């Protein structure tokens, strides 16, 4: 599977948000979409999920125009985790079973339940299986949302700021799950992020978005002081601490 954006433009009414976006996403990589507030990160990932229709251009899955696919086909190809999770009385198990909906004709089968409990065990969430969503902590809820996406067994995983409301421990745990699943299943994983250092730690491809367009796209080479300073409108420095790369604003700003 390859996901390709060709000359994609989008606007909200008369307000242009994205212009002539082009890039290609390959399996086995984690792509971090970075940029300031209002750069179009969430809009782009919603276009990739098929929720918005572009003004011009298109998103292709292999040679198929994503926006011409049926909803059931999209649900078999793409799993999406939004920024905010909806609380309800559903148990974790029932919530995950909803992720099997594209494959279910009338009611869930034993195979669907096996997939759900397999993911719960893999993500160490089995003890939460019968707990209602509204009684989960923030970290538990985000991991459950990720588990729901994984039970869809898609080749593309889209996540809109999955760590923004989590503490450091849960940020690391969620990102480690994402990395493991991406590598093991050769997923195309695309994540919008605000934390540059978290992106550098876990992603291996980067989409830098600025003023409705892509400033830079590629591997770690695009994460330069020059590009990041231009992206965020302030001077930054890049440091190496052990095996970790850190970006910090220059002093005096």
Domains of the chain, earliest start first = 3-249 (3.40.50.300)
Residue 105 CA to residue 27 CA, distance in Å, equals 29
pLDDT tens for the chain, 253 residues long, are: 999 999 999 999 999 999 999 999 999 999 999 999 989 999 999 999 999 999 999 999 998 999 999 998 999 999 999 988 888 899 999 999 999 988 876 555 788 889 999 999 999 999 999 999 999 998 899 999 999 999 999 999 999 999 888 899 989 999 999 999 999 999 999 999 999 999 999 999 999 999 899 999 999 999 999 999 999 999 999 998 888 899 999 876 5
- Residue 253 is predicted with a pLDDT of 53
- Residue 108 is predicted with a pLDDT of 59
Label the pairing between strands 3-12 and 156-160: unpaired
- Residue 251 is predicted with a pLDDT of 74
Cβ burial, residue 107 (10 Å; 0-12/13-18/19+): exposed
Residue 189 CA to residue 159 CA, distance in Å, equals 8
Q: Which residues contact 73 (CB under 8 A, 6 or more apart)?
A: none
- Residue 106 is predicted with a pLDDT of 52
């Amino acid at each position: 599977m390859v996901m390709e954006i060709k000359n994609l433009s989008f606007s909200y009414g008369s307000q242009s948000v994205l212009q002539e976006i082009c890039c290609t996403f390959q399996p086995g990589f984690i792509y971090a979409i970075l940029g300031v507030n209002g750069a179009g990160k969430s809009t782009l990932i919603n276009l990739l999920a098929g929720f918005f229709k572009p003004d011009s251009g298109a998103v292709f899955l292999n040679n198929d125009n994503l926006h011409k696919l049926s909803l059931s086909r999209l649900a078999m190809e793409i799993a999406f985790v939004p920024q905010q999770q909806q609380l309800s009385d559903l148990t974790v198990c029932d919530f995950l079973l909803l992720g099997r909906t594209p494959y279910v004709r009338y009611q869930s089968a034993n195979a669907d339940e096996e997939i759900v409990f397999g993911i719960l065990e893999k993500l160490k969430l089995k003890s939460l299986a019968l707990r209602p969503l509204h009684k989960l902590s923030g970290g538990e809820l985000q991991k459950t949302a990720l588990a729901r996406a994984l039970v869809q067994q898609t080749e593309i995983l889209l996540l809109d700021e999955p760590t923004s409301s989590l503490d450091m421990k849960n940020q690391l745990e969620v990102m480690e799950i994402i990395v493991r699943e991406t590598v093991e299943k050769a997923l195309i994983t695309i994540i919008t992020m605000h934390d540059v250092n978290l992106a550098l730690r876990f992603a291996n491809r980067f989409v830098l978005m600025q003023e409705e367009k892509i400033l830079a796209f590629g591997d770690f080479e695009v994460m330069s002081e020059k590009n990041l300073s231009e992206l965020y409108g302030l001077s930054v420095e890049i440091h190496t601490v052990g095996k970790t790369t850190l970006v910090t604003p220059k002093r005096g700003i």
